[in-house]
Structure 1
Amino acid sequence: MKTKLAHVRVNVKDLDKAIDWYKSTFGFEVAATWPPEKPNYAHFESENGATFAIMEHEDYPSLGRLNFYTDDVEALWIELKDNVNVIEELFSTPYGTRKFTITDLDGNELGFVQD
């Protein structure tokens, strides 16, 4: 069976703070929140690939690692490195990619990779 990744979600402690962090750090724009009365979920616009979402949830923390592909990992590294918690500095992998890894406000690991 072939599959296609369409949606990735991480749990966060505080939805509003997490939204602000993802918006200010990466320029992500919220596409939708749910439920309308008192949102505990938000997902961000995505040009290509999986939808990235966050959810305020009692199972926080449920730490994970997400890899985002980028066309210019060097420029992104220079832009972010002094303003985020770095787990892995920019390096070349044995697989021919370049990447670095940071954490978001809730400790989820976010990898940024360039082929």
Structure 2
Amino acid sequence: MKTRLEHVRINVGDLEAAVKWYEDVLGFKVEARWPQENPNYVHFEREGGAVFGLMEGFSSTPGRFNFYVDDVDALWSKLQARDVNAVEELFDTAYGSRKFTITDPDGNELGFVQG
């Protein structure tokens, strides 16, 4: 079976606080909010990748996601000034890539990988 991942979502405790963190710390930009009258879901601009969304309140189980980036060293340097919680500091993997992992305020693990 062939598949193509087009949408991922993580659950957060406070949607507005999470959106602020993803915008301020990672530079993401909200593309849509739903439902319009009382949003509990947002997704960010996808720039050619899968839709990445946040939904408020359905589970306290953290998720783990890897984002592939062009310059992981530059992003790591930028985020060091933002006092992020590092699960794995920047390192070279055994399979030829370079990566680091941080957590968002809800404990979701976000890996950033190059290569």
Segments of 4+ in structure 1 off by > 4 A?
Answer: none
Task: Kindly report which structure 2 residues correspond to 1:7-86, keeping only aligned pairs within 5 A, or say none.
Answer: 7-59=7-59, 61-82=60-81, 83-86=83-86
Consecutive unaligned residues in structure 1, runs of 5 or more: none
Residue 43 of structure 1 contacts residue 54 of structure 1 at CA under 8 Å; is this kept in 2?
Answer: yes
**What percent identity do the matched residue pairs reach?**
61
Query: Could you report, residue by residue, the CA deviation over 1:23-69 in whole angstroms, capped at 9, with x for unpaired residues?
Result: 0011111000001111000000011211110000232x121110000
1:2 aligns with 2:2: yes
* Contact residue 10 and residue 62 of structure 1 kept, 8 A: no
Q: Give the alignment of 1:79-98 within 5 angstroms.
A: 79-82=78-81, 83-98=83-98
**CA deviation map 1:81-107 (0-9, x unaligned):** 242000000001111000000000100
Letter in 2 for 1:77: W
The TM-score normalised by the length of structure 1 is 0.96
Matched positions, count: 114
For 1:114 and 1:69, locate their aligned partners in 2 and report how far apart those are by CA, in whole Å: 6
Backbone CA RMSD of aligned residues: 0.8
For residues 36 and 97 of structure 2, what CA distance do their matches in structure 1 show?
A: 41
Q: SS in structure 1 opposite 2:62? A: coil
Paired residue type of 1:33:
R
